[in-house]
Amino acid sequence: MRLRAALAVVAVLVATLAGAYGALVTFRADKELSAGTIRLSVSPGHRGALDLYVPLVDWGARFEAIRLPARLRIDLRTVNRAAVVRLAKGSRLDVNQVRDEAAAAIESYLKALLAVVLAAALALGLLVALAVRGGPGPRLRWTALLAVVTAAGVTAALAVLLPPRGPIDEPQYYAYGPDIPRALRAVEAATRSTAALDQELDAQLVGLAQLVVAPGQRIPVDERSPRVVVASDLHNNALALPILERTARAAPVLFVGDLTDRGSPLETAVVRGVVRAGRPFVFVSGNHDSDTLSRRLARDGAIVLGQEGRLLPDGSRGPVVARVGGLRVAGYSDPFERRSAEDFRDRYDAKPSPEQQGAFLAWLDGLDGQVDVVMVHEPALLEPALVRLRAAPPDEPILFAVGHTHTAAIERIGAATVLNGGSIGAGGTGNLGEGTPIGIGIFLYAREPAFAPLAADLVSIDPGTGSSTARRVRLDAAAR
């Protein structure tokens, strides 16, 4: 008898939840805006986010603004022809109107969704309650009450957790396709801003027009600002060189080590063409590079930096600080760089020793006020310097470009920024099966009246599928 009662309760509970879940995943609504038609839907089982997706150009922007493990998705299905014509003729889109329309559409959709979820949960739960009534099982009034309470609880939880909350900024862009990301083009084309559906429901509609949903409360980054590409960890994957070259588009490239696996003459011959990827191509060695590689790159026209100064084509040393794109750039050779005299053997230890970290800190102290960018392959060398920066954040901006971890990351410490673009070589030719994404960073800055970071774009590409994401992080005072 107790078992039957327990099974009946479980059946009603499961049926009620199944009804709610089924309604959640299947209910969608199309809403008309002045700019076009959007479709709203929910996709459970993901990290909570608001997705703005444009199928016409196959890219979107994602904002982590939802606490429920689900994505509230807004697809731009069709574009209002009259709006596109007006934009193509130079008219401006009334972004406030579109923003208000989109906010109203989301509110209307969520209200309808909650009603449908409640109705579906109640219907299925009460239906099962009726089916299991009678006999030695629980009375109908108790199972019906369970269905009502469960349906109401699920609906209330959705009402609290599903609507976007807080500021919506720092989007992650994503796209699909085998080429260097549409997502990156979206990032670079953006001249947008922040706050409610704040950043972008926009699409570069086959070159005709841009639709932008953004209230313009933040001063946009000037996309004509100077830029440098931050890359590292190619590990001989020459197939990724065209991606690096197309991303740079004649901008300087700061390559932060591990161009090869051993730095042997054969590997050097394979990758030496990388110097054409940037104008100029600036290099510091990593633990998988060698003195042979550095000398070859210097002879081929790269700016090869080290703590002793720039390596010149004749093997001598020049100034420690080089001028690159209006920036004062210095670099620190990896302490585990391989040596031709030792047959390019692996010299890497688990991490730099305290003595090596101290040597880096002393070198950095000697450059106080003289550099805008410091390139160092091994992030662990920075640890004592970062401890000091956290205790006393610098007044003048400085960028630390790092590599080694194969993981894209950005950290702000006062006016200091630590930027890791990830692995441009997807972990290298020997590790392509590990699923490491192709990673690359783009740093935008101002030169006048003084060096000032503006933004960093972190781009990630799945080498197997071509699926790509790009995230912009604002670094300027206007973003705060």
**pLDDT tens, position by position, 332-353:** 999 999 998 888 888 777 788 9
Query: How many other C-beta atoms can be found within 10 angstroms of the C-beta atom of residue 217?
Result: 10
More confident: 448 or 301: 301
Which residues, at least 6 apart from 398, have a Cβ–Cβ distance to it below 8 Å? 371, 372, 373, 374, 415, 416, 417
CA–CA dist 203, 54 (Å, integer): 6
Residues 6+ apart with CB under 8 A from 418: 379, 382, 386, 400, 402, 409, 410, 411
- pLDDT value at residue 215: 29
Which range, of 78-87, 283-292, 363-372, averages the lowest pLDDT?
A: 78-87
H-only helix segments in 50-192:
81-88, 95-131, 140-161, 182-189
341: number of Cβ within 10 Å: 8
Task: State what percent of residues in the chain have pLDDT above 90.
Answer: 42
In angstroms, the CA 339 to CA 264 distance is 9
Measured in degrees and rounded to the nearest 5, phi and psi for residue 419 equal: -120, 125
Q: Where are the domains of the chain?
A: 2-161, 227-479
Q: CA 76, CA 78: separation in Å to the nearest integer?
A: 6
CA gap 438, 427 in Å, rounded: 8
Give the span between the Cα atoms of 261 and 233, in whole angstroms: 9
| Greatest mean pLDDT range, 197-206, 214-223, 411-420 | 411-420
Q: Is the pLDDT of residue 309 over 90?
A: yes
Span 148-195, pLDDT tens digits: 999 999 999 999 998 887 655 566 666 544 333 444 444 444 333 333
Kindly report which listed range (38-42, 190-194, 369-373) carries the lowest average pLDDT score: 190-194
Strands (E), 277-364: 281-284, 303-304, 322-324, 327-332
DSSP three-state, residue 283: strand
Identity of the residue numbered 130: L
In the predicted structure, residue 442 carries a pLDDT above the cut 80 = yes
What is the Cβ-side half-sphere exposure of residue 405, based on CA atoms within 13 angstroms? 15
> How high does pLDDT run on average in the chain?
80
Structure-model confidence comparison of residues 98 and 339, the more confident one: 339
Give CA–CA dist 333/347, Å, rounded: 14
pLDDT classification of 92: cutoffs 50, 70, 90: low
Mean pLDDT of 268-290: 92
- Label residue 250 by pLDDT band (50, 70, 90): confident
Instruction: Say if residue 434's pLDDT is above 80.
Output: no
Residue 324: name the closest of 307, 310, 313 by CA.
310
DSSP state of 307: T
Q: How far apart are CA 417 and CA 383, in angstroms?
A: 14
Structure confidence at residue 183 (pLDDT): 42
Highest mean pLDDT pick, 80-89, 162-171, 408-417: 408-417
CB atoms within 10 A of CB 388: 15
Topology adopted by domain 227-479: Purple Acid Phosphatase; chain A, domain 2 (3.60.21)
Helical (H) or strand (E) element with 418: strand 416-420
Q: Which of 397, 461, 399 is nearest to 424 (CA)?
A: 461
pLDDT > 70 in the chain, percent = 77
User: Within 190-262, where are the H helices?
Assistant: 241-248
Note the helical H segments in 132-169. Answer: 140-161
Residue 380: pLDDT over 50:
yes
The pLDDT value given to residue 220 = 59
